[in-house]
Each structure stands twice: as C-alpha cells, then as structure tokens.
Amino acid sequence: MADLLRKPLASEGLVHAITAENAGWRYVGFELHRLAPGAAATGLTKDREAILVMVEGHAQVQAAGQDWGVLGDRMDVFEKTAPHCLYIPPAQSWEVTATTACTVAICLAPGRGDYPARRLGPDGITLTQRGDGSNTRWINNIAMEDADVAESLLVTEVFTPAGNWSSYPSHRHDEDDYPRITYLEESYYHRLNPPQGFGIQRVYTDDGTLDETMTVKNHDVVLVPRGHHPCAAPHGYEMYYLNVMAGPLRKWRFIADPDHAWLM
C-alpha cells in the first residue's frame, strides 16, 4: 500500500511537514501550521522557493528581510474570499506570529532565486467556476502558470460543493513530455465543512499498478506522485483543498483517463 494519505501530526503547531525526501519524490514540499493567538512559526527556505498561504486567520509576517504587516482576511476558509499569500525566494528566513487563531500553509519547491519576494492576492485572485452540474467547483488560482511569479510552484485553492466531484474528469500529469503532458507532483491539503465530514480521493494509474481510494478527513494531506486523482464530496459536506504542484517545467499539461475523456 502506497503511503499517500498523511494524517495531521498534531492539532496545533506544526501539523504537516512534508518534504521531497519524506514524500519519496523530488519537487513538492508542504508545511501546515495552526497557531493560537501569540504563537509563532519560523523557517528558512534554503534551496526552495515558498508560497505562504494564509488559509484562515490573521498573522504578522516577516520574510526575506521585510515586514509584510498583518496578512489574512477570512477567519474560516469556507468564507471563500481570496487568500492573502506571499512569495518567498530561496535562502530567506520567514516568521509568522498569529494575531488571531490562524492556519498558515508553506508551499515549497526547488528554486534558484530568480523571483523577488512579493505579495500574491487578495487582489487579482477571483473565485472562478470550473465545470458544471455535479462537477461544478470553485477555483482561487493563487499562482498558476499564467502568473510569472515563481520558478516551479503552481498553487491553487479548490472549493467543491457538497455532493459534487472535482479534479474530475480524472486526469494525470506524470510524464515529462511537454507540450503533450508535464511531470508535476501534487499535494492536496483537505478541509471539510462541517469539519466532522469526510471526502473521497482516488489516486490511480491507467495500468492499475497504483490504485488507492482514500477517505480524507479535515486537515489530511494526500500525495499524488503519479496517476489520476479525482475527489468527491458527500452530500452535506463541502470540501476545500489547497493544491501544490511542481516539477521540472512550470506548466500544467494533463491527459484525461481515456475511459472518462468523453466527459471533458
């Protein structure tokens, strides 16, 4: 059984510490910090670039030698307003001090230092519908390839209404053969509303050598090293996830599962 479902390490403080090494891949890292008011988290980006996402709550942020003031707006991620985010280049330190209870994600991928530190959002991030019917979901693009703001990170938020599917029709991005398809590792940080809910995520390859169907709960992370990766939210439970993708080329090109491509 592949180790794709990562449970929270704690309910407060450092909740996830996914590195390329412990994920068994090369590009994506992901940290999640849940901080009580007054609590702080710090880090060094080293040979990685980072996008800090204020998932919810407010915090005083210092990074890359600058004071960025208090970041954050929505107090609950399911308010769905545009997130406050910060791009932090490699070889920089950062420090977040919670001014309210807050949840802060640090999305990581390799970087050389070609891009400066800068705010991303809330300006320029617009909640956008993708799909229709029971495949409708709502997207906040934080840093996708049309935004020339990072070397390898692609970061997106997705809100899936109760009873709907997302990351669907099934698709994969696990071969480095641009422009046909790109190789992108991907992590999913999941939330459910109300929080006692659950969702389903399947990760599977065309040849069936990987086929895991996972029950995801609030604050779980799913790793997608390869294969298709659709999600479903049950009746009564809205699903949120924060996607981090990275690979050798900062482009998202995918191929649909041939069985379900007719739905595209």
Q: Nearest distance from residue 243's CB to ligand LN3RO5KU, in Å?
A: 4
If 0-12 CB within 10 Å is exposed, 13-18 middle and 19+ buried, where does residue 19 land?
A: middle
- The answer to whether 141 contacts ligand LN3RO5KU (rule: CB under 6 A) is no
Dig out the tokens for 130 from the structure.
């993708």
Report yes or no: 166 and 135 within 8 Å, Cβ to Cβ: yes
Q: Nearest distance from residue 34's CB to ligand LN3RO5KU, in Å?
A: 23
Smaller CB separation from ligand LN3RO5KU, 88 or 242: 242
Residue from the set 156, 182, 193, 201 that interacts with ligand LN3RO5KU by CB under 6 A: 156
Query: Within a 13 Å sphere around the CA of 59, how many CA atoms are in the beta-carbon half?
Result: 33
Q: DSSP string covering 191-213, please?
A: EEESTT-EEEEEEE-TTSSSEEE
Smaller CB separation from ligand LN3RO5KU, 32 or 242: 242
Residue from the set 7, 112, 130, 180 that interacts with ligand LN3RO5KU by CB under 6 A: 130
Smaller CB separation from ligand LN3RO5KU, 186 or 220: 186
- The answer to whether 152 contacts ligand LN3RO5KU (rule: CB under 6 A) is no
Amino acid at 196: Q
The one segment of 2-10, 98-106, 165-173, 201-209 that binds ligand LN3RO5KU by CB under 6 A: 165-173
Kind plus residue range of the DSSP H or E element containing 6: strand 5-6
Gap between the Cα atoms of 100 and 117, Å rounded: 24
Rg of the chain on CA atoms, in Å: 17
- Footprint of ligand LN3RO5KU on 201-240 (CB under 6 A): 229
Smaller CB separation from ligand LN3RO5KU, 103 or 167: 167
Dig out the tokens for 185 from the structure.
């590792």
Residue from the set 173, 202, 219, 226 that interacts with ligand LN3RO5KU by CB under 6 A: 173
Report yes or no: 14 and 41 within 8 Å, Cβ to Cβ: yes
3-state secondary structure of 99: coil
Report yes or no: 127 and 140 within 8 Å, Cβ to Cβ: yes
* Beta-ladder partners of 31: 17, 106
Judged by CB under 6 A, how many residues of this single chain contact ligand LN3RO5KU? 11
Smaller CB separation from ligand LN3RO5KU, 84 or 226: 226
Binding site for ligand LN3RO5KU (CB under 6 A): 130, 137, 156, 158, 166-167, 173, 186, 229, 243, 254
